[in-house]
Amino acid sequence: MHDTIKKGDGGKMKKVYLDNGATTMIDPRVIKKMTPYFSDKYGNASSTHSFGRDAKQAIEEARAAIAKTINAKPDEIIFTSGGTESNNFAIKSIAFTNKDKGNHIIVSKTEHKCIMNACKWLEKQGFKITYLKVDKEGFVNPDDLEKAITKTTTIVSVLHGNNETGTINDIKKLAEICKKHNIYFHTDACQSYTKTDINVKKQPVDLITLNAHKIHGPKGVGALYIRKGTKIDIWQHGGAHEFDMRAGTENIHGIVGFAEAAKIAMNKKYIKHMSRLRDMLIEGILKIPKVKLNGPKGNKRLCNNANFSFKGIEGEAIGGYLDTKGIASSTGSACSAKTLESSYVLMAIGLSHQDANGSLRLTLSRFTTEEEIEYTLKVLPGIVNSLRRISPLWEE
Amino acid sequence: MYTEKIIEHFKNPKHAGEIKNPDAIGQEGNPQCGDIMKIFLKIKDNRITDVKFKTFGCIAAIATSDMLCELAKGKIIEEALALTPKDIINSLGDMPPIKHHCSLLGIKALKNAITDYKTK
């Protein structure tokens, strides 16, 4: 890539980071932008003195920059502590604020854990949740959504880009259905933000979760887009920050970093770069016998996501061997989960336990190089072979 | 998360593989929980003279399988039957509590193999 930036531990061992779906390296340009806000312009944006005014100005500039990336108005952007907070804010607050209309919520079976666990909690509070099935590639069928809507439905939440399967749902179609039925539509766009178009003028989505650390920004900062006119109460109470919608002293350096990261990431050349390397990776890995790609191919897949199931071997073990070669990956295997359960997302697209446990996710970034993909493709077949040789489930 | 010893046994399992014409075979586990272990024994004069394993599973599953084989090799059947998950974990240094069940997998597979031997 054109951005030549040194990564890893100073070259002792080759280090290849292919877990950008988990988090990303902060772009040095972002760090540079953030630095003055730690020790120079460190004011509280609520203060009226010059320090406070500097902070306030920085936040408002950042808000305008983030709004621009999705074609929204600045006052429709509320800064939060990240994707989890934005998701919790959206679904819980809409549910409670619109309780007089009904208590029914619709989500897909492949939402991120923060939506899933928020829904479990909402069920305990008396709300009814419908979990929409997805097809073999992870897509929600808009007809299924329309059929699930009842008179008491208040909000639908469907993930934009899936963190495991890379599936990009058609949020335009899904949002249009909700609009027709006068229901709020929320999407978690943490994985898809800047990697595929989000435009609130064209996609009638009411609420969008965004975050910084998946796009080479800092951890601990995100935003919730709330369309003007949406009936939603403050969820985190305190001072009158963020148009009185989210209390808490603003994370000024984080917000500044988030906006800078988003501005840089909006350059479409990065999508092209990541898509090309992703396809090179997919093509190379599918040459290994008895491997299948999980999720769709082409432009309906996140440009940085690849996910495979390897017959007869287990994902954490593959990741363990990759780690010894300096390659960072992740898996949907039960073995690596704190709950010891196979990924519910991979199960929802119809994988067997064995295939879900044999899954490996490799996620790229704009800093990923062709050489790193070549290196991965060089070491992976040997790892798969040696694990298969010791697997009781693999017959030559 | 894992001790160096676990990683070493995972990376270079000395007992991985199969024994041709084994005197006993034992298997344990199911794909749902993620781990399956198959163990092959050579037994002579009531003593385990050789032992190999094949495991579908994670880092801990492979490392505990290898350690179990190391502990079982050379033991008489009664001694092998007395092995516990704790013996495996202690020999590996330590293991995250969530992975302790992996060590039980090996113990059960070994018991199944010995039962197989006795019923032959």
The per-residue pLDDT for range A332-351, each reduced to its tens digit, is: 887 777 777 889 999 999 99
Cα angle, residue B11 at apex, residues B8 and B16 outer, rounded to 5°: 105
What is the per-residue pLDDT for A6? 46
Cα Rg, chain B, nearest whole Å: 13
Q: What is the pLDDT of residue B35?
A: 87
Closest approach of chain B CAs to the CA of A238, in angstroms?
39
> Using a CB-CB distance cutoff of 8 angstroms, which residues of chain A are in contact with residue B31?
352-354, 357, 393
Relative to beta strand A104-108, strand A128-132 is parallel
For residue A320, the chain B residues in CB contact (below 8 A) are: 7, 10, 58-59
> In the prediction, which pLDDT does A3 show?
40
The whole-number pLDDT of residue A193 equals: 98
Q: What is the pLDDT of residues A19-45, one digit of tens each?
A: 999 999 999 999 999 999 999 999 999
Rounded to an integer, what distance in angstroms lies between the CA atom of residue A329 and that of residue A216?
18
* Pick among B30, B58, B100 to test the A interface (most A CBs inside 10 A): B58
Q: What is the pLDDT of residues A288-331, one digit of tens each?
A: 999 999 999 999 999 999 999 999 999 999 999 999 999 999 99
Let me know: does A60 contact A37? Beta carbons within 8 Å. no
Residue A389 has a pLDDT of 95
Position A11 pLDDT exceeds 70: no
**CA-based nearest residue to A15, from A3, A5, A7:** A7
Q: Please give the full DSSP string across B30-89, using - where no structure is assigned.
A: ETTTTEEEEEEEEEETTEEEEEEEEEES-HHHHHHHHHHHHHHTT-BHHHHHT--HHHHH
Known active-site residue B69: no
Per the annotation, the verdict on B102 as an active-site residue is yes
Pick from A390, A394, A395 the residue to mutate for testing the B interface (most B CBs within 10 Å): A390
- Residue found under tokens 């909000």: A155
Tell me which residue of B45, B46, B51 sits closest to B26, measured CA to CA: B51
Q: What percentage of chain B reaches a pLDDT higher than 90?
A: 81
The HSE-up count of residue B103 (CA atoms within 13 Å, CB side) is 21
- Over its C-alpha atoms, chain A yields an Rg (Å, rounded) of 22
- Cβ–Cβ gap B34/A342 under 8 Å: yes
pLDDT top residue among A6 and A151:
A151
**Higher-scoring residue by pLDDT: B91, A1:** B91
For the record, the structure tokens of A299 come out as: 């432009």
pTM exceeding 0.90: yes
Of B13, B27, B34, the CB nearest to A335: B34
Distance from CA of A31 to the nearest CA of B (A): 30
Residue A2's pLDDT is what? 39
B33–A391 CB contact, under 8 Å: no
* pLDDT over 80 at B71, yes or no: yes
Pairing of strands A153-157, A184-188: parallel
Give the C-alpha separation, A265 to B43, whole Å: 64
Residue B100 pLDDT level (bands cut at 50, 70, 90) = confident
Give Cα B31 distance to the centre of its chain.
Answer: 17
Q: What does A191-253 look like in DSSP terms, one character per residue?
A: TTBTTB---TTTS--SEEEEESTTTTS-SS-EEEEE-TT-----SS-SSS-GGGTS-S---HH
- Partners of B17 on chain A (C-beta within 8 Å) are 389-390
Query: Looking at residues A185-196, what average pLDDT do you find?
Result: 98
DSSP B99: G
Residue A218, pLDDT > 50, answer yes
